Amino acid sequence: PVSGKVVKLAGEPGDIIAVGAALVVFETDDAAVEEATPAPAASNGADRPVEAPEPAPPPPPVVEERSRVMTSPAVRRRAREAGIDLANVPGSGPGGRVTRKDFAAYLAGNVSPAPAVAKPAPVAATKEIKVIGLRRIIAERLAQSTREIPHFTYVEEIDITELEALRQHLNEKHQDPANRLTILPFLGMALVRAVKNFPQCNATYDKERNVLLQHGAVNLGVATQTPDGLKVPVVHHAERLGLQELGQQIRRVSTAARDNSIRKEDLTGSTITITSLGKLGGIVSTPGSHPPEVGIIGVNRAVARPVVFNGQVAVRLIMNLSSSFDHRFVDGYDAAAMIQEIKELLEHPATIFLP
């Protein structure tokens, strides 16, 4: 660390600078520091004065172009000789063309000048936004996921009427809204049980070593929309947590991701991810997997619909689960079978808590 004045920057925000190239040049008063640290080749020297940049020339004046009035050369010549602006002469010809009669009538004072044409409302200027920081990372990861991973998407309809009744019953015991349960911890617990029978879905792919790692721990990624873009905070060892604890941890990491207080370790190490669009969940979605994971499960909106239940038409609360898997490592049959097991657990929520 040194004290001084920044005299040169090697780029603008968002630029990619070559490894080893100068990023910034400082002017310092410490000769010892200057002797010990040679200036970058691109520098003009640490002790040279900095020339003030020349002021930018003023922008050229904006000249409004008037549309050319349609008329004959003869009328145009007569108007020029008389010093009359043809834009003020009402035209009765096709497309507003000014005829000889129109011009003669205008000269005779039989008509009033044409009303001024209202200027169109100004068009909003195009705004350039550099793709930098977290947004650039998101773009690169999504491009990598789409480019490298052959996705297999599977959607299943789930009757969560009983699950919703249980959720509301449990929430009635908690006056503090911070302790109320969403559907995500129920899905997380069902997922923890299901991956025991489908360990190939709780896995990550090490591309450098070409090795698939099947994990004993379920480190649950929770895709979270933040003001800075999509982040995936992680609840580590979800398999060790009860329902209330899992709900609290999901809430903790999601909140920390939104307000930028999240720890680095809470943004790494996920083995499988769940994602939810909340009230905007729609009917179906095609979530992209979160590399190096091989599976992701998306929650869609729950809707009350008439369905056949126990041989009769009844109104039930129906929700779709949209899942995507890396087809290189998860066969379609196994992916569908795991979602079917999650469906059974959620439709009979008591089974989630069985040993």
Q: Would you call 174 a catalytic residue per the annotation? A: no
DSSP 67-87: PPPPB-HHHHHHHHHHT--GG
Q: Which residues contact 344 (CB under 8 A, 6 or more apart)?
A: 351
DSSP 262-298: --GGGGS--SEEEEE-GGG--S---PPP-TTBSEEEE
Beta pairing partners, 153: 324
Active site residue: 151, 215, 327, 334, which one? 327
Do the beta carbons of residue 103 and residue 89 sit within 8 Å?
yes
Distance CA 203, CA 211 (A): 10
172, 211, 267, 292, 302 from 208: Cα distances, Å: 50, 8, 21, 11, 41
Q: Would you call 331 a catalytic residue per the annotation? A: yes
Do the beta carbons of residue 354 and residue 185 sit within 8 Å?
no
Q: β-strand 295-299 against 312-326: which pairing, if any?
A: antiparallel
Distance CA 251, CA 241 (A): 14
Active site residue: 290, 331, 334, 348, which one? 331
Distance from the first to the final alpha carbon of the chain = 57
11, 160, 179, 191, 232 from 296: Cα distances, Å: 38, 20, 26, 11, 11
Catalytic residues: 327, 331
